[in-house]
Amino acid sequence: MSGPSLRQLHAHHSIHEGGLSGAITKTEELEEFMQAGEHVVAKYAAHHLIDYWETRIISHADAEEEIGGFYDEKLTQQQELATAIIQLKRDHDLMKMILKNIKDTLATEELNDALLQQFQALIVLNNLHSREEERLLFV
């Protein structure tokens, strides 16, 4: 069962902002290491950033989707949210797919600009998702 913070707009927004802020900072650090030619440190930073996405943002998404959790409660309260919730879950799936692609690529290739762009895409997707979620589910 998801916690009470997911059900209060201010607290939920704070979770979103904290996660996003950390992802932005860590992505900027990764980019700086890459630009400085610090390849070993950059690869370490990339793995740390993956872990951050998994433990902060993806775990939050999973908590929202768990059986009897936040999304289920919202749907029970307002059946007209069905399409919106499907779309929000798709956003979660896209974030997981991008993150998996980054992990798989890093396992066989060196860190490169295309991977950095995928980390940046995660930030954009997460930001849009969070704003839509707050707009749609906290009416």
Domain ranges of the chain: 4-137
Hey, what are 99's tokens?
Answer: 């993150």
Confidence of residue 6 (pLDDT cuts 50, 70, 90): confident
- pTM (whole model) above 0.85: yes
Alpha-carbon distance of 137 to 78, in angstroms, equals: 9
Tens-place pLDDT, residues 16-25: 999 999 999 9
Is the predicted pLDDT of residue 3 greater than 80, yes or no?
A: no
Instruction: Give the CA distances from residue 128 to residues 75, 87, 95, 123, 131, in Å, rounded to whole numbers and listed in that order.
Output: 21, 12, 12, 9, 5
pLDDT at 1: 43
Tens-place pLDDT, residues 41-80: 999 999 999 999 999 999 999 999 999 999 999 999 999 9
Is the predicted pLDDT of residue 122 greater than 70, yes or no?
A: yes
Is the predicted pLDDT of residue 4 greater than 90, yes or no?
A: no
Q: What is the 3-state secondary structure (H, E, C) of the chain?
A: CCCHHHHCHHHHHHHHHHHHHHHHHHHHHHHHHHHCCCHHHHHHHHHHHHHHHHHHHHHHHHHHHCCCCHHHHHHHHCHHHHHHHHHHHHHHHHHHHHHHHHHHHHHHCCCCHHHHHHHHHHHHHHHHHHHHHHHHHCC
State the chain's mean pLDDT as an integer. Answer: 95
